[in-house]
Amino acid sequence: MPRTSEEYIQSVRDGREVYYRGKRVDDITTHPVLRIAVAHAADLFNSKDRLYDDPNYGRISKYFKIPRNTEDLLARHRLIYEDTLRFDGLFNIVQAIGSDALFSLMIMARKVDGKYRTNYYERVMKYYEYVVKNDLAIAVAQTDVKGHRAKRPHEQQDPDLYLRVVEVRDDGIVVNGAKIHTTQGPVANEIIVLPYRAMVEGDRDYAVAFAVPANAKGLKFIVRPVLEYDGNPNAVNSAARFEVESLTIFDHVFIPWDRVFLFREWDMAGPLAWYFATYHRFTAISYRAATANLYLGAALLAARANGIENAPHVRDWIIQMIMYKEIMRMGAMAAALEPIIDEGIAVPNPVYTNVSKLYSNAHFIDVIHGLIDIAGGLIATMPSHDDLRNNDERGYITKYLAGAVDGETRYKIMSLVRELSASHLAGYLLTAMIHAEGSEAASKIGMMREYNFREAEELVNRVLSKLRI
Amino acid sequence: MPRTSEEYIQSVRDGREVYYRGKRVDDITTHPVLRIAVAHAADLFNSKDRLYDDPNYGRISKYFKIPRNTEDLLARHRLIYEDTLRFDGLFNIVQAIGSDALFSLMIMARKVDGKYRTNYYERVMKYYEYVVKNDLAIAVAQTDVKGHRAKRPHEQQDPDLYLRVVEVRDDGIVVNGAKIHTTQGPVANEIIVLPYRAMVEGDRDYAVAFAVPANAKGLKFIVRPVLEYDGNPNAVNSAARFEVESLTIFDHVFIPWDRVFLFREWDMAGPLAWYFATYHRFTAISYRAATANLYLGAALLAARANGIENAPHVRDWIIQMIMYKEIMRMGAMAAALEPIIDEGIAVPNPVYTNVSKLYSNAHFIDVIHGLIDIAGGLIATMPSHDDLRNNDERGYITKYLAGAVDGETRYKIMSLVRELSASHLAGYLLTAMIHAEGSEAASKIGMMREYNFREAEELVNRVLSKLRI
Amino acid sequence: MPRTSEEYIQSVRDGREVYYRGKRVDDITTHPVLRIAVAHAADLFNSKDRLYDDPNYGRISKYFKIPRNTEDLLARHRLIYEDTLRFDGLFNIVQAIGSDALFSLMIMARKVDGKYRTNYYERVMKYYEYVVKNDLAIAVAQTDVKGHRAKRPHEQQDPDLYLRVVEVRDDGIVVNGAKIHTTQGPVANEIIVLPYRAMVEGDRDYAVAFAVPANAKGLKFIVRPVLEYDGNPNAVNSAARFEVESLTIFDHVFIPWDRVFLFREWDMAGPLAWYFATYHRFTAISYRAATANLYLGAALLAARANGIENAPHVRDWIIQMIMYKEIMRMGAMAAALEPIIDEGIAVPNPVYTNVSKLYSNAHFIDVIHGLIDIAGGLIATMPSHDDLRNNDERGYITKYLAGAVDGETRYKIMSLVRELSASHLAGYLLTAMIHAEGSEAASKIGMMREYNFREAEELVNRVLSKLRI
Amino acid sequence: MPRTSEEYIQSVRDGREVYYRGKRVDDITTHPVLRIAVAHAADLFNSKDRLYDDPNYGRISKYFKIPRNTEDLLARHRLIYEDTLRFDGLFNIVQAIGSDALFSLMIMARKVDGKYRTNYYERVMKYYEYVVKNDLAIAVAQTDVKGHRAKRPHEQQDPDLYLRVVEVRDDGIVVNGAKIHTTQGPVANEIIVLPYRAMVEGDRDYAVAFAVPANAKGLKFIVRPVLEYDGNPNAVNSAARFEVESLTIFDHVFIPWDRVFLFREWDMAGPLAWYFATYHRFTAISYRAATANLYLGAALLAARANGIENAPHVRDWIIQMIMYKEIMRMGAMAAALEPIIDEGIAVPNPVYTNVSKLYSNAHFIDVIHGLIDIAGGLIATMPSHDDLRNNDERGYITKYLAGAVDGETRYKIMSLVRELSASHLAGYLLTAMIHAEGSEAASKIGMMREYNFREAEELVNRVLSKLRI
| Three-state secondary structure string covering B26-74 | CCCCCCCCHHHHHHHHHHHCCCCCCEEEECCCEEEEHHHCCCCCHHHHH
- Determine whether the interchain pair D403/B160 forms a contact, defined as Cβ–Cβ distance below 8 Å: no
Q: Residue D31: count other Cβ atoms within 10 Å of its Cβ.
A: 18
Burial class (CB in 10 A: 0-12, 13-18, 19+), B372: buried
- Determine whether the interchain pair B355/A330 forms a contact, defined as Cβ–Cβ distance below 8 Å: yes
Share in percent of chain D as helix, strand, coil (round to 5): 55, 15, 30
Q: What whole-number distance in Å separates Cα of residue C396 and Cα of residue A246?
A: 13
pLDDT digits (tens, 9 = 90+) for B128-163: 999 999 999 999 999 999 999 889 999 999 999 999
pLDDT band at B115 (very low <50, low <70, confident <90, very high): very high
- What's the ipTM? 0.96
Which residues of chain D neighbour C388 with C-beta distances below 8 Å?
469
Average pLDDT over residues D28-39: 98
Residues contacting residue C105 through CB under 8 Å, at least 6 positions apart: C120, C124, C192, C209, C261, C272
Alpha carbons within 13 angstroms on the beta-carbon side of residue B387 total 29
Please report all neighbours of D, defined by 3+ CB atom pairs within 8 A.
Answer: A, B, C
Asked if D16 and D28 touch (Cβ cutoff 8 Å), the reply is yes
pLDDT value for A66? 98
Residues contacting residue A224 through CB under 8 Å, at least 6 positions apart: A244, A245, A246, C380, C381, C382, C383, C384
Alpha carbons within 13 angstroms on the beta-carbon side of residue C416 total 29
Residue D368 has pLDDT above 90, yes or no: yes
pLDDT value for A21? 97
- Determine whether the interchain pair D358/C455 forms a contact, defined as Cβ–Cβ distance below 8 Å: no
pLDDT value for A274? 96
**Average pLDDT over chain A, rounded to an integer:** 97
Radius of gyration of chain C, Cα coordinates, nearest whole angstrom: 24
Residue D144 has pLDDT above 90, yes or no: yes
Interface of A with B in 345-364 (CB under 8 A): 351-352, 355-356, 358-359
pLDDT band at A438 (very low <50, low <70, confident <90, very high): confident
Please report all neighbours of B, defined by 3+ CB atom pairs within 8 A.
Answer: A, C, D
* Beta carbon pairs, A and B, within 8 Å: 176
pLDDT value for D84? 98
Which residues of chain A neighbour C427 with C-beta distances below 8 Å?
380, 418, 421-424, 426-427
Which residues of chain C neighbour D413 with C-beta distances below 8 Å?
464
| Angle B400-B405-B411 from CA coordinates, rounded to 5° | 55
pLDDT value for A313? 92
Please report all neighbours of A, defined by 3+ CB atom pairs within 8 A.
Answer: B, C, D
Asked if D282 and C438 touch (Cβ cutoff 8 Å), the reply is no
pLDDT value for B59? 97
CA distance C322 to chain D (A): 8
Q: How many residues does chain D have?
A: 469
CA distance D311 to chain A (A): 9
Percent of chain B scoring above 90 in pLDDT: 96
- Of all residues in chain D, the one with the smallest CA distance to A312 is D312
Q: What whole-number distance in Å separates Cα of residue C284 and Cα of residue C350?
A: 13
Spans in chain C with pLDDT lower than 50:
none
Which residues of chain C neighbour D416 with C-beta distances below 8 Å?
460, 463-464, 467
Q: What whole-number distance in Å separates Cα of residue A291 and Cα of residue A308?
A: 24
DSSP D60: E
Range(s) within chain B of domains with CATH label 1.20.140.10: 272-458
Q: What whole-number distance in Å separates Cα of residue B63 and Cα of residue B138?
A: 11
Alpha helices in C58-187 (DSSP H): 70-86, 96-116, 120-134
pLDDT value for B241? 96
- Of all residues in chain C, the one with the smallest CA distance to D301 is C457
Q: Edge-to-edge strands of the sheet including A23-25?
A: A23-25, A17-20, A219-223, A245-256, A172-183, A164-169
* Domain range A5-265, CATH architecture: Beta Barrel (2.40)
Percent of chain C scoring above 70 in pLDDT: 100
Which residues of chain B neighbour D428 with C-beta distances below 8 Å?
380, 422
pTM (2 decimals)?
0.96
Q: At what angle do helices C350-375 and A350-375 cross, to 10 degrees?
A: 140
- Determine whether the interchain pair A181/C401 forms a contact, defined as Cβ–Cβ distance below 8 Å: no
Q: What whole-number distance in Å separates Cα of residue C345 and Cα of residue C104?
A: 9
Average pLDDT over residues B416-440: 93
Asked if B345 and B316 touch (Cβ cutoff 8 Å), the reply is no
pLDDT value for C440? 83
CB distance from C427 to chain A under 8 Å? yes
Which residues of chain A neighbour C396 with C-beta distances below 8 Å?
178, 220, 222, 247, 249, 251
Percent of chain D scoring above 90 in pLDDT: 96
CB distance from C212 to chain D under 8 Å? no
- Determine whether the interchain pair C386/A22 forms a contact, defined as Cβ–Cβ distance below 8 Å: yes
| Angle B184-B186-B190 from CA coordinates, rounded to 5° | 80
Range(s) within chain D of domains with CATH label 2.40.110.10: 5-265
CA distance B77 to chain A (A): 13
- Of all residues in chain D, the one with the smallest CA distance to C462 is D88
Which residues of chain D neighbour A316 with C-beta distances below 8 Å?
313
CA distance A250 to chain D (A): 25
Average pLDDT over residues B267-283: 97
pLDDT digits (tens, 9 = 90+) for A16-54: 999 999 999 999 999 999 999 999 999 999 988 999 999
pLDDT band at A328 (very low <50, low <70, confident <90, very high): very high
> Which of helix, strand or coil describes residue D72?
helix
Average pLDDT over residues D6-28: 98
CA distance D312 to chain A (A): 7
Interface test with C, best of D237, D294, D300, D326 (most C CBs within 10 A): D326
CB distance from D312 to chain A under 8 Å? yes
φ, ψ at C294 (rounded to 5°):
-60, -45
- Of all residues in chain C, the one with the smallest CA distance to A223 is C383
Which residues of chain D neighbour B235 with C-beta distances below 8 Å?
none
Alpha helices in D87-173 (DSSP H): 96-116, 120-134
Percent of chain A scoring above 70 in pLDDT: 100
Q: What whole-number distance in Å separates Cα of residue C463 and Cα of residue C285?
A: 37
pLDDT digits (tens, 9 = 90+) for B383-409: 999 999 999 999 999 999 999 999 999
Average pLDDT over residues D7-22: 98
Q: What whole-number distance in Å separates Cα of residue C287 and Cα of residue C436?
A: 12
Interface test with D, best of B33, B247, B381 (most D CBs within 10 A): B381
pLDDT digits (tens, 9 = 90+) for D376-400: 999 999 999 999 999 999 999 999 9
D240 to B176, D95, D226: CA distances (angstroms): 40, 20, 12
Average pLDDT over residues A417-440: 93
Residue B91 has pLDDT above 90, yes or no: yes
- Determine whether the interchain pair C380/A222 forms a contact, defined as Cβ–Cβ distance below 8 Å: no
Average pLDDT over residues B69-79: 98
Strands A58-61 and A51-54: antiparallel
Which residues of chain C neighbour D330 with C-beta distances below 8 Å?
327, 330-331, 333-334, 352, 355-356
Which residues of chain A neighbour D311 with C-beta distances below 8 Å?
312
Asked if A275 and A246 touch (Cβ cutoff 8 Å), the reply is no
pLDDT value for C47? 87
* Domain range A272-458, CATH architecture: Up-down Bundle (1.20)
DSSP D66: P
Interface of C with A in 236-255 (CB under 8 A): 245-247, 249, 251
Q: Which of A225, A307, A403 sits opposite C384 (nearest CB)?
A: A225
Residue D440 has pLDDT above 90, yes or no: no
pLDDT value for B1? 85
Q: Which of D227, D383, D422 sits opposite B247 (nearest CB)?
A: D383
CB distance from D233 to chain A under 8 Å? no
Average pLDDT over residues B412-432: 97
pLDDT value for D160? 98
| Angle B257-B262-B266 from CA coordinates, rounded to 5° | 140
Q: What whole-number distance in Å separates Cα of residue C161 and Cα of residue A67?
A: 59
- Secondary structure of A264-295 in the HEC alphabet? CCHHHHHHHHHHHHHHHHHHHHHHHHHHHHHH
pLDDT value for A457? 96
Which residues of chain C neighbour A23 with C-beta distances below 8 Å?
386, 390
pLDDT digits (tens, 9 = 90+) for C302-331: 999 999 999 999 999 999 999 999 999 999
pLDDT digits (tens, 9 = 90+) for C361-418: 999 999 999 999 999 999 999 999 999 999 999 999 999 999 999 999 999 999 999 9
pLDDT digits (tens, 9 = 90+) for C124-133: 999 999 999 9
pLDDT digits (tens, 9 = 90+) for B188-206: 999 999 999 999 999 999 9
Q: Residue B117: count other Cβ atoms within 10 Å of its Cβ.
A: 7
CB distance from C466 to chain D under 8 Å? yes
* Beta carbon pairs, A and D, within 8 Å: 7
pLDDT digits (tens, 9 = 90+) for A344-389: 999 999 999 999 999 999 999 999 999 999 999 999 999 999 999 9
Residues contacting residue D377 through CB under 8 Å, at least 6 positions apart: B143, B180, B181, B431, B432, B434, B435, B436, B439
CB distance from C283 to chain A under 8 Å? no
Residue B446 has pLDDT above 90, yes or no: no
Which residues of chain D neighbour A315 with C-beta distances below 8 Å?
none
CB distance from C398 to chain D under 8 Å? no
A27 to A16, A18, A23, A181, D230: CA distances (angstroms): 9, 9, 12, 22, 82
